[in-house]
């Protein structure tokens, strides 16, 4: 049986409150769980010690028997000193996707064409003025 340590949502609409639970990975998010090992209240300030409450001993036990924490719970466990979480780096995260890149290229081509057209329209008008100036 695959066991995960994850968040189970509670609270009312627009007022989330989460329980940190150990559950079978196949059970629903808010459904049956094996054990509740903590709470998480995202509405509290980040420096408030009531924001994340975690039973570290039970978390260590479940990790030792093979439970897999979700990314968010792994952050909590790392902050509590229970689990060492590896830092992740995704350098491509901030880059635009294929379609956005194509749109930007098309926009750049249009602007370049408009600038060339404007330069071509201004060039013949300036040429006779220059010719008059050189003739004098």
CA–CA dist 110, 85 (Å, integer) = 48
Cα 118 to Cα 60, 127, 128: the distances in Å are 70, 14, 17
| Predicted pLDDT of residue 119 | 86
CATH 1.20.120.1810 assigned to 3-80: no
Predicted pLDDT at 12: 93
Residue 31 to residue 26: CA distance in whole angstroms: 10
What is the C-alpha to C-alpha distance for residues 5 and 16, in angstroms, rounded to an integer? 18
**Can you tell me the mean pLDDT for 51-77?**
93
């Amino acid at each position: 049986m695959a066991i995960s340590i994850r968040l189970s949502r509670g609270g009312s609409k627009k007022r989330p409150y989460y329980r940190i639970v150990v559950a079978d990975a196949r059970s629903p998010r808010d459904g049956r769980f094996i054990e509740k090992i903590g709470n998480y209240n995202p509405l509290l300030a980040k420096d408030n010690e009531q924001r994340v409450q975690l039973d570290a001993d039970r978390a260590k036990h479940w990790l030792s028997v093979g439970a897999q924490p979700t990314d968010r719970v792994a952050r909590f466990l790392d902050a509590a000193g229970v689990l060492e979480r590896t830092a992740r780096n995704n350098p491509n995260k901030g880059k635009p996707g294929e379609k956005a890149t194509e749109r930007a290229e098309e926009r750049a081509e249009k602007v370049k064409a408009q600038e060339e057209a404007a330069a071509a329209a201004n060039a013949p008008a300036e040429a006779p003025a220059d010719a008059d100036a050189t003739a004098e």
